[in-house]
Chain A
Amino acid sequence: MKQKRKKVNYSKWGYIFILPFFISFFIFSLIPLIDTIRYSFFEYYRSGLKEIGPNFVGMENYVSLLKSDMLKYAANTLILWVIGFIPQIVIALLLASWFVDVRLKIRGQQFFKVVIYLPNLIMASAFAMLFFALFSNKGPINSILLSIGLTKEPIDFMRSAFGTRTLVGVMNFLMWFGNSTIMLMAAIMGISPDIFEASEIDGCNSVQRFFRITLPMIRPILAYTLITAIIGGLQMFDVPQILTNGQGSPDRTSTTLIMFLNNHLKSKNYGMAGALSVYLFIVSGILCFIVYRITNDNDDDGSKAAARKRKKAERR
């Protein structure tokens, strides 16, 4: 009896505790996911209150999507993302290395950390509405420009593709640079101070220190930030949707993939929307796989090549 007691397997409690997650995942994520894939092979939409389908059409939805402007919207998404991401990562790196630099001794660090993170707490849609109001033809930005005499006519910011895309980029930058800063700060603080000290003794200046030590040492986290940002960028929706009132104007140059998806969902076109989702799923799946490989690598450097090299060195 006593012997048996010792062999009691407590692992079942582990399963019971994680059960709620799996149940809700199964009901709210997995079933809809499989349904989406299933419906992507069907013609299935609503015309008024009439339901058309589901009729099996094979790969037709996928083919007609490729024939549509989908790739143009993918390019739009990429452009919008790049406009926001480049300043985001540059500023984040700069701020992160300043904040953790012991020599600079920046005061009120906590305060600044909170402030730069704040924009991320605002809902993207509210943020977009705010920008829409600020930059509208009769909005405060134009009033200021007019009253200090920089322009004679109000500037129509959202008239050109350049203006609209820049506004979207600026918003994404403002919303996400705080988040990246904090993530990169954590990464930099993870670097052993010995290395920094050693470099200083060797007469390293701050630029060298940044490019030769900080940057290589945080490469895995940097790659992680990059990939998650791409996945987030793929899903870009609320900012351009609200800013352009769902039109992606002008000339659909700020229509992102998810806005395209949303257009199909207006007619409850589950077939076409499903096919588009599957495309997106595949792309993000590949990206996730890359992240997985990077984060599971034990090597500090993050690259497989370096890991192999080191192994070789060990064998010798």
Chain B
Amino acid sequence: MKKKLVSSLLAVSMLAAALTGCSGGNDASNNASNNAADAPASNTADAPADNTADVSADNTAAENTAPEGQVINIYSFNDELRNRITAVYPEIESTSEDGTSSTLKDGTEIRWIINPNQDGVYQDKLDEALTAQMTASDNDKVDIFAAELDYIVKYTDADIDAAMTLESLGINPDTDLADQYDFTKTVGSDQNGVQRGTTWQACPGVLVYRRDIAKEVFGTDDPAEIGKKTSDWETMKATAEELKAKGYYAFSSYADTFRTYSNNMAQEWVTAEDPTTVKVDQILMDWVTDSKEWLDAGYFDPTVKGQWNSDWFTAMSSSSKVFAFLFPAWGIDTQMVPNWDGEDGAWAVTNAPLSFNWGGTFVLAATGTDNPQHVKDIIMALTADKDNLTKISKEYSEFTNAQSVMDAAASDDAFGSAFLGGQNPYGYFSDSLASIKMAPLSAYDQGCVELIQNSFSDYFQGQVDFDKAKENFETAIKERYPEITEVQWPE
């Protein structure tokens, strides 16, 4: 009998060890599930008290009969959204040191769930959470999520209804968001024109150049003078030739110029009428021919292949021979500042050869959220509050989504950037924005943009011929999107 007891005990402990082994080393998920288990218990005790406090404190909450949940889950692909929200949302009391959660003054907890964009990790995790949204417990429901311009269409689709319309949240885009740029509203809208996402930033691109190289090659580093030399692609080419003569490169790689072309496409990659065909726009073929010509002519740094790699980052440092980069405001703040190793004031901003918009983080409210009131407050504070947007522009040198603020910023020295040696870039941003022809978006943008750059990269470097590069793009795009059966190239 004793033996039996001992052996069964052993068996149980072995089983337990095997099971804990599965989740061992994964403290985060353990904690999360512990928290989830704890929450309902505290719910019953706290919720009624909290609610009454809420109602008496906030009169607008009266219309909102359903009680707010205890946890706000915010999905994002980097810490940008967290930094912005914690900077401007006044209800936030404290944020934990590791940045995984914040506490609001009324006791509600914000959980920041951050997964990187690379390799589609963020979208995988978000999609998983959104598909489980209806059956998830209140504390695990997605409340707010971020989406980049390249894939926002996937989430604003009215048929899928993953994101709430702003109206159902209680935000009227025409009055509440009147100060925002119109194109950001178009981008955040579904196929029926109903707005579902909004953003605090607009991303008009400019040309950022090295002052020392400009002085050496052109004898001046004045943005207005340099701007004349970079006003369109023809002039830019002559400028590149001058730079080359002195041993400098105009841009780091063909990927740098891509957005100026792709943002001026006449039609989307995949149209609604013909959902199984990718149509490659003529302007992208222009990019291919121009890039090949420029690379062969030595206007690009041949050692830099594409973006987001260490060679590209090194091209932004003082040892590099690259004259300019094409960037929106976020690019200067998040890419150039950390990679530049010299003094401030070495770079200046002027107009790009072609106006373009690159990126933009949109915030959307997930359908089924249990905290609609908080979600509305956060979105309003982040994207519609003039003071907050001014603050973001001043602190993070971002081009914010508020026309009146940006118009004023162009002539206000307080908005000068320390990195640019005090130069105020907002005038150039606004000019760029004014002439942006926003390319129509489709749900396939991310894959198409990524794969066309990859496929033609081999062609630029002389590894394959033009037709083979086209063929490789077709193979890759059909692999990525199984529903695509045909690729149409321009004549």
Q: Is there an interface contact between A249 and B162, defined as CB atoms closer than 8 Å?
A: no
Q: Is there an interface contact between A160 and B131, defined as CB atoms closer than 8 Å?
A: no
Q: Is there an interface contact between A47 and B483, defined as CB atoms closer than 8 Å?
A: yes
A49 in contact with B482 given A69-B475, A156-B303, A249-B458 (CB within 8 Å): no
Interface residues of A in 121-166 (CB under 8 A from B): 133, 136-139, 154, 156, 159-161
Q: Is there an interface contact between B480 and A267, defined as CB atoms closer than 8 Å?
A: yes
- Consensus secondary structure, chain B interface: helix
Q: Is there an interface contact between A47 and B481, defined as CB atoms closer than 8 Å?
A: yes
A138 in contact with B162 given A48-B154, A272-B482 (CB within 8 Å): no
Q: Is there an interface contact between A251 and B154, defined as CB atoms closer than 8 Å?
A: no
* Chain A, Cβ-Cβ closest to B308: A245
Taking residues whose C-beta sits less than 8 angstroms from the other chain, chain B's interface range is: 35 or more
State the CA gap A17–B457 with chains docked (Å): 57
A269 in complex: contacting residue of B153, B304, B482, CB < 8 Å = B482
Q: Is there an interface contact between B311 and A246, defined as CB atoms closer than 8 Å?
A: no
For A49, A247, A260, A263, which residue has the most chain B Cβ atoms within 10 angstroms? A49
* Chain B, Cβ-Cβ closest to A44: B482
A266 in complex: contacting residue of B159, B480, B483, CB < 8 Å = B480
Q: Is B7 engaged at the interface, CB distance under 8 Å to the other chain? A: yes
Interface residues of B in 130-173 (CB under 8 A from A): 130-131, 153-155, 157, 159-160, 162
CB distance from A30 to the nearest CB of B (A): 17
Q: Is there an interface contact between A48 and B310, defined as CB atoms closer than 8 Å?
A: no
Interface residues of B in 458-491 (CB under 8 A from A): 458, 461, 463-464, 468, 472, 475-476, 479-483
* Chain B, Cβ-Cβ closest to A260: B479
Binary per-residue interface labels of chain B (287-327) against chain A in the complex, 1 for a CB within 8 Å, 0 otherwise? 00000000000000011110001110010000000000000
* Chain B, Cβ-Cβ closest to A133: B310
Interface residues of B in 108-145 (CB under 8 A from A): 119-120, 127, 130-131
* Chain B, Cβ-Cβ closest to A247: B454
Q: Is A264 engaged at the interface, CB distance under 8 Å to the other chain? A: yes
Which residues from B are CB-within-8-Å of A154?
303
CB distance from B474 to the nearest CB of A (A): 11
Q: Is A45 engaged at the interface, CB distance under 8 Å to the other chain? A: yes
State the CA gap A137–B130 with chains docked (Å): 41
CB distance from A278 to the nearest CB of B (A): 17
Interface residues of A in 8-65 (CB under 8 A from B): 13, 16-17, 19-20, 24, 45-50, 52
Q: Is A209 engaged at the interface, CB distance under 8 Å to the other chain? A: no
CB distance from A105 to the nearest CB of B (A): 43
Q: Is there an interface contact between A266 and B120, defined as CB atoms closer than 8 Å?
A: yes
CB distance from B271 to the nearest CB of A (A): 15
Which residues from A are CB-within-8-Å of B162?
49
A49 in contact with B154 given A137-B304, A264-B479 (CB within 8 Å): yes
Which residues from B are CB-within-8-Å of A17?
11, 14
Which residues from B are CB-within-8-Å of A69?
475
Q: Is there an interface contact between B483 and A52, defined as CB atoms closer than 8 Å?
A: yes
State the CA gap A267–B483 with chains docked (Å): 10
Which residues from B are CB-within-8-Å of A45?
482-483
Q: Is A250 engaged at the interface, CB distance under 8 Å to the other chain? A: yes
Q: Is there an interface contact between B157 and A48, defined as CB atoms closer than 8 Å?
A: yes
Q: Is A252 engaged at the interface, CB distance under 8 Å to the other chain? A: yes
CB-defined A-B contacts under 8 Å, sample of 8: A47-B481, A48-B160, A68-B475, A133-B310, A156-B303, A159-B463, A252-B475, A267-B481
Q: A45-B482, A47-B443 are in contact. List 18 more A-B contacts (CB 8 A).
A: A17-B14, A19-B11, A20-B14, A24-B18, A46-B127, A50-B157, A136-B311, A138-B311, A156-B302, A156-B303, A159-B461, A249-B454, A251-B458, A251-B464, A251-B472, A252-B472, A266-B120, A269-B482
A-B pairs with lowest CB-CB distance, top 10:
A137-B303, A250-B463, A48-B154, A263-B479, A49-B160, A250-B458, A45-B482, A138-B314, A251-B464, A20-B18
